[in-house]
Amino acid sequence: VFDVLRGNSPRQLEKLQVVTGDLTKDMLGLSQDSVAQLKDVSVVFHSAATLKFNEKLRLAVNLNLQPVICVLEICDVLPNVLAFIYVSTAYSNSEFSRVEEKVYPPAMKLETLMKKLKEGDMDEEKLAEFIFPKLNTYIFSKAMAEHVIAQHKNKGYSSAIFRPSIVVSSLHHPTPGWIENLNGPSGVIVFTGKGFLRVMRSNSSMVGDMIPVDIAVDTMIGVAWETALQQSSSVRVYNCTSTENPMTWGEFKNYLNKYLREYPLENAFWVPALRDVHNAFLYNIQEVLLQTIPLYSIWYFMKLFGYKTR
C-alpha cells in the first residue's frame, strides 16, 4: 500500500513509528515510554474494532467500546492533540429509517451496561435480548461508543465521528482495485469468481451502499483537518455513504456475472454465475442444490482418488 509513496516521496515515511499495544488491556497495553513517544501527535484516528455481527456481547464491548474510553483518556494527557476521529459505521443507528449526522440516545446507560457485564451471574444471552432485540452486537457496541464520545469532556481538542458504509476496494489509490481483506462484498466477489458462491440471499431492489476505501480514507483525512481547524466543544458527525451514486444488490450481482466472466480469476472452480434470492426458504433450497451437494460431491471424489483436499 505504501509503494507509490516510497517511489514518489520516501521521506514522508521517516516520521512513521510503530508502538505495540493490546485493545483488551488498560491504556491499550501501552507502556509509559510508548505514551511519551506520542507527545508530538496532533491528530488521533481510532479505527480498531471487531467486525463480527454475532460477536459475544462481552467481547464486543471489550473490543469496540472499552478501548474508545482508553483512547480518549490517552488523548487527554497528550499536549498537542487537536482532533480525535472515531471511525464508526453508517449502520450504528440502523433501527431508524433516516440517519442524520448526530449522536442518538443510547439503547441503555453506559453505567448500567458496565454494571451488568461485571455481574458474575449475568446471563449474556438474556441481557442481549433485553438490550437489542433488533440489533447485532457490532451495531450496539458502535452506537454505545458514539455515546461515550459525545459525553466525554475533551481537554483542549475537538472530536468527530466518521460513519462510512460498506468499505470495498479502492477506486484510484494506491492502485485501482487494491484491497487487503475479504470482508463483506470483497469476499462475495472472490468466491463468486472462483465459482464457489452460486447463490446469495439479498433483496435485489435494495441499495448496497459501498464506498471505495480510498474515498473513505480521503474523506476521513478531510474530517480530521476540519475538526482540528474549527475547534468545537460539541462532537461533529459525518456520514460517508454512496447516496449520490447508489447501486442496488441486483446491479451488483449483474456486474459480477458480467465482469468475472470477462476478466476471470485464476484457478476458478466453476463458471461465475451468481443468483440472488430474497425468500429464505427458496434460498436454502438453492444453496443445497447449487453449492452444498456439488462441493461435497467433488470433495468425496477427490478423497476417493487420493487427491489432497483442504
> pTM value?
0.89
CB-based contact 122:162 (threshold 8 Å): no
Q: How many domains does the chain have?
A: 1
173 in any annotated domain: no
135 in any annotated domain: yes
242 in any annotated domain: no
For range 266-281, the mean pLDDT: 94
Please report the pLDDT score of residue 120 as a whole number.
59
pLDDT in tens, 18-74: 898 999 898 999 998 999 999 999 999 999 999 888 888 888 889 999 999 999 999
**Residue 82: how many other CB atoms lie within 10 Å:** 17
Q: Which three cell numbers stand for residue 217?
A: 480514507
Percent of the chain with pLDDT over 90: 66
31 in any annotated domain: yes
Sheet strands (E) in the chain:
43-46, 83-87, 158-164, 166-168, 199-201, 210-212, 236-240, 275-277
Closest CA to 198 of 267, 285, 140: 285
Percent of the chain with pLDDT over 70: 95
307 in any annotated domain: no
255 in any annotated domain: no
Residue 79 has pLDDT above 90, yes or no: yes
Q: Residue 34 sits in a domain of what CATH number? A: 3.40.50.720
Please report the pLDDT score of residue 182 as a whole number.
87
- Contacts by 128-133, CB closer than 8 A, 24 or more apart: 128/57, 131/57, 131/107, 132/107
182 in any annotated domain: no
- Which domain does 160 fall in, by range? 3-164
96 in any annotated domain: yes
Closest CA to 237 of 143, 117, 110: 143
Confidence label for 127 from pLDDT (cuts 50, 70 and 90) = low
For range 251-256, the mean pLDDT: 96
Helices (H), 9-164: 32-37, 57-64, 66-77, 110-118, 124-131, 137-151
Helices (H), 180-248: 185-194, 213-229
Q: Which three cell numbers stand for residue 102?
A: 448526530
